[in-house]
Amino acid sequence: MSEMPEIKYFVTGGAGFIGSNLVDRILSQGNEVVVYDNFSTGIREYLEKANKNSRFKLIKGDLLDTKSLNEAIKGCDFVFHLAANADVRFGTEHPSKDLEQNTIATFNVLEAMRKNSINKIAFSSTGSIYGESKIIPTPENAPFPVQTSLYGASKLAGEGLIQAYAEGFGFNAWIFRFVSILGERYPHGHVFDFYKQLRDHPGHLEVLGNGHQKKSYLYVQDCIDAIFTALEKSHKSVNIFNLGTDEYVEVNDSINWICSHLGLDPKISYSGGERGWIGDNPFIFLDCSRIRSLGWKPKNNIQQGIIKTLDFLVENPWVLERR
C-alpha cells in the first residue's frame, strides 16, 4: 500500500484486540487513522503506541450516538467496521445487546458513510454465521445457513445491510468471516481463561465443554495480512472472504500446549457436555481457498498463535487483572 496516496481510515472498535493491532499496521504504512470506540470492551493501553503518532486520532463515542458518529467520520476515506458485541456466551442473557451493538450499529455506520460520501467498508463478520454447516471445511458459498446464535444472527444482519448498500448506493464492501483470532492483546476466550485459572490455581483447570470441541484459530497479524491482501487484490462490489488456517485443533490440544509451555501438569475437570454454552458452535472450520488464491497464507500455525498469545499474557499480567 506504500505507493498509494495517503488514506484516512476510520476504525470502529479500534481500541479492541483486532482493531488496535490494525491501527498500528495502518500507522506503520504511513496512513492516517481515526479510531471510534465506546470503550465498553476497548482498552486504552492498546493505543499507547498509536497515541504518539500525529496521524492518529481517538474519539470516544458510541455507534448508537449518530450525531457524534456523523461528526467523527467526516473526511475519512475508508471504514473498518470492527466494533461489536463479540461475547457470544451472553447472547441469550441480553438479546438486545447484539441487536443494538451489532445490527443497529452497522446500520448507523452505513448511514454515516452515505451522508459523508464515503463508500468503502471492510466488516468483521464471523464463521459463526454458517451455524452448524454440514459442509466442513465451510466455503463462502456454503448452503444458506440456519443461525444458531444471536451473535451469528446479528452479524448476518450486518452483512445483509452492507450488501444492500453496495447494490443500492454503489458501496464497495469487504466482508471477512473470521475463525477465532489469537495473538497479542487477545482479551478473552480459551487461552485467556485457561491461563487466568492456571495463574490463580496451577494445580487444576476447569474446562467448559468436553475438551473435544474442535476450533480453528488464526493469528492476528496473519489476519491483518489477509485483510490487506483482499483490499489490494479483490475489487468486486461485494468481496466476501473466510479467514482462517487450514488446520484445526481440539480444546485439549490447546490445553496441552499451554500447560507444557508453562511447565504445569494440572488436574483437568470438564463440565457442560459436548457444547460449552448455548449458541457455541461445536466446530467452525472454514475453507479459506478463496483468500489463499490471492496469494495469502498464514505465517503462523495454530500452535504458534497460541504460544504467542500466552507469551503476551505472561508479559502483560495487567490484562488479566483488569477483569
List interacting residues with a copy of itself (CB under 8 A). Answer: 91-92, 95-96, 99, 103-104, 107, 110-111, 130-131, 140-150, 152-154, 156-157, 159-161, 163-165, 167-169, 238, 240, 278-279
| Shortest Å distance, C-beta 48 to a copy of itself | 37
The residue type of 90 is F
Question: Could you tell me which of 214, 109, 113, 129 has the C-alpha nearest to residue 176?
Answer: 129
Choice between 152 and 298, CB closer to a copy of itself: 152
The single residue listed with the C-alpha cell 499480567 is 317
Choice between 30 and 95, CB closer to a copy of itself: 95
| Shortest Å distance, C-beta 282 to a copy of itself | 12
Whole-angstrom Cα distance, residue 103 to residue 94?
14
Whole-angstrom Cα distance, residue 300 to residue 11?
25
| Shortest Å distance, C-beta 122 to a copy of itself | 16
Cis, bond preceding 95 (omega within 30 deg of 0): no
Choice between 79 and 156, CB closer to a copy of itself: 156
| Shortest Å distance, C-beta 13 to a copy of itself | 20
Q: Is residue 113 a contact partner of residue 79, using CB atoms and an 8 Å limit?
A: yes
Choice between 141 and 271, CB closer to a copy of itself: 141
Q: Parallel, antiparallel, or unpaired for β 172-178 and 238-243?
A: parallel
Whole-angstrom Cα distance, residue 189 to residue 284?
15
| Shortest Å distance, C-beta 146 to a copy of itself | 5
Choice between 166 and 198, CB closer to a copy of itself: 166
Residue 153: CB partners within 8 Å, gap ≥ 6? 98, 147
Q: Is residue 150 a contact partner of residue 91, using CB atoms and an 8 Å limit?
A: yes
Q: How far is CA 187 from CA 182, 184, 310, in A?
A: 9, 9, 11
Choice between 46 and 285, CB closer to a copy of itself: 285
| Shortest Å distance, C-beta 243 to a copy of itself | 16
